Amino acid sequence: MNVGKELLFFFSALGAFNGLILSLYFFFFNSKKYLSNYFLGALLFALSVRIGKSVFVYFDGTLPRIYLQIGLSACFFIGPFLYCFVKSAVNGLDTMPKFWKWMIASQFVLILLAGISYPYENYPGLWNQYFSKIIYSQWLIYVVLSSFVMKGMLKKLFTKGLPMNAAEIWLLMIYVGNVVIFITFFLSLIRAPFSSYISGSIGFSLILYVIISVLLYRKKTDDLFLLAPNKYTGKKLNEGEAGMLLGKLERLMNEQAVYRNPDLKLVDLSKGVNVSSHHLSQFLNDNLGKNFTTFVNEFRIREACRIISTDHRLTLESIGYEVGFNSKSTFFAAFKKITGTTPLNYQQNTLKA
C-alpha cells in the first residue's frame, strides 16, 4: 500500500470510527434526551458500520464475506433511521409511534432471516444482483419520504430571501449529507463512470467532521436539536394524552414534592415526566392555560395553606421558604394572586374557624 492509499485508508477508517463514537454520544451521553437524537445516533451507527465495511473490503479484498453481509444489512436500516430522525425532529415527537416500532422490528427480522437462510458466503450472486438492489431501492424510498417531511426547509434552501434558523440548517446538513452518501454508493453500485467504491467513505468522513465541528464549537446547541423551541403549534393534546401527562405531573408534584425546590426549572420538571421542555411548556400553556411558574406556585400555595391551617408554630415567612419560595415578597405576592387574600388574613380566618 503506497503512501496515498495509506492516507486514504486512514481518513476513511477514522470517519467510520468517529461515527461509532458519535453514535454512542447521542445514545448515552448527550444531555438533550430528545427522540430525534436517539435516531440520529442509530443513523450514525448504521452508516458507520456500512462505511467501515466499504473501507476494509476496499483495501483488503481477502476479508471473510461475512463483512459484506454485515455492511449490506446495516445499509438496510439507514433509510428508516434517516426518516425517523427527520420526522421526529420536524414534528417534535417525544415518544416513538407504535408503527415505527413495528416497522423497525419487521425489517430487523426480515434481514436476519435473509442472512440466515441465504448467507452471503454461499449466495454472493443473490446478494449482489438482487438483495443489494432491494436495499438501495428501499434506502431511496426513505430518502424521498424524508424530503416530503422537509419540504418546507427544502423550499427555503432554494428560495432566495427565506431565512432559516439554526435547527433547520442543522437538519438540512444531515439530510443532504445522507443524500450525498447515497448517491456515491449508488453510482458505485451501477458502475457509473468516474465513480469510486471508496468515495462514499470519504464523503461520510468529511460530513462527519463538519457535524463534530458544529457540536464542539457552538456555544449554544439547544437550538440545533429543536426546530421551534419557543414556538407553539397551538394544537392541544387530545383528552387521553393530556390526562396521562397531567397524571404524571401530579404524581411527581405530590409524591416527590419537587415544588419545594426553590431552583426548580422547566427542564427539571420535563425530565421527571420524560417529555421535552418545549412539549411540557406547550401542554401547560395550551391545555391548562397557565405557565410553568403559575403551575408550580399553585402546588406551593396549596401546601402553604395546609401548613398554615395545621401548624401555628411556624411564621408565615418560614412557611414560604418551606414550600419552595426563595423570598418573602415572592411568597406573599403568589399567595395573594392564587387565593385572593394575604397569608396573614388566611391565617387569621383559620384561627377563627
Q: How many domains does the chain have?
A: 2
User: Is a pLDDT exceeding 60 seen at residue 229?
Assistant: no
| Claim to verify: residue 134 and residue 205 sit in the same structural domain | yes
Higher pLDDT, 260 or 8: 260
- Do both 205 and 294 map to the same domain? no
Measured CA to CA in angstroms, residue 82 lies from 88, 139, 171, 277, 331 at distances of 10, 9, 11, 24, 49
72 within domain boundaries: yes
Range of the domain at 336: 239-352
Confidence of residue 312 (pLDDT cuts 50, 70, 90): confident
- Distance between CA atoms of residues 350 and 353, nearest Å: 5
Amino acid at 301: I
The pLDDT value recorded for residue 111 is 92
CA-to-CA distance for 100 and 159, rounded, in angstroms?
33
Q: Are residues 326 and 247 in the same domain?
A: yes
Q: Write the DSSP symbol of residue 162.
A: -
Task: Give me the torsion for CA of 339, 345, 346, 349, rounded to 10°.
Answer: -130
- HSE at residue 328, side-chain half, CA atoms within 13 A, is 5
Among 10-19, 122-131, 169-178, 300-309, whose mean pLDDT is lowest?
Answer: 10-19
- Condensed to tens digits (0 to 9), the pLDDT of residues 125-180 reads 898 888 888 998 999 999 999 999 888 888 877 777 667 666 777 788 888 888 88
Q: State the pLDDT at residue 235.
A: 54
Quick one: 128 and 248 in the same domain?
Answer: no
Q: Could you say which of 225, 253, 286 is where a domain stops?
A: 225
Assigned domain for 232 exists: no
List of E strands, the chain: none
Q: Would 9 be classed as within a structural domain?
A: yes
Per the CB < 8 A criterion, the answer to whether 226 and 278 are in contact is yes
Confidence at residue 5, expressed as pLDDT on a 0 to 100 scale = 55
Q: Is residue 234 part of a domain?
A: no
Residues 268 and 303 in one domain: yes
Is residue 7 over pLDDT 70? Answer: no
Which segment of 4-18, 221-235, 292-306, 309-323 scores lowest on mean pLDDT?
A: 221-235
| Domain endpoint, select from 225, 255, 285 | 225
Q: Is residue 263 part of a domain?
A: yes
Number of helical (H) and strand (E) elements in the chain, helices listed first: 17, 0
Q: Could you tell me the pTM of the whole model?
A: 0.60
**What's the rounded mean pLDDT across residues 180-194?**
73
Q: Is residue 113 a contact partner of residue 149, using CB atoms and an 8 Å limit?
A: no
Q: Which residue has the cell 434506502?
A: 139
What's the whole-number mean pLDDT along residues 70-75? Answer: 86
90-99 confidence digits (pLDDT tens) = 876 767 888 8
245 and 221 in one domain? no
Instruction: State the DSSP code for 238.
Output: P
- The confidence score (pLDDT) of residue 81 equals 93
Residue 311 binned pLDDT confidence (cut-offs 50, 70, 90): confident
pLDDT category of residue 20 using cuts at 50, 70 and 90: confident
Cell of 50: 456500512
Does a structural domain hold residue 121? yes
Q: Could you tell me if residue 231 is inside a domain?
A: no
C-alpha separations of 69 from 40, 220, 331 in Å: 23, 41, 65
User: Where is the domain boundary, 194, 225, 256?
Assistant: 225
Together in a domain, 309 and 208 = no
Shared domain check, 114 and 76: yes
CATH number for 133:
1.20.1070.10
Whether residues 171 and 24 share a domain: the answer is yes
pLDDT, mean of residues 101-112: 93
The per-residue pLDDT of the chain, averaged, comes to 79
Are 184 and 153 members of one domain? yes
For residue range 35-69, list pLDDT tens digits in order. Answer: 888 888 898 888 888 877 776 666 666 667 787 88
Q: What is the CATH number of the domain that holds 281?
A: 1.10.10.60
For residues 249 and 124, state if they share a domain: no
Say if CB 225 and CB 88 are below 8 A apart: no
Note whether 251 and 193 are same-domain residues: no
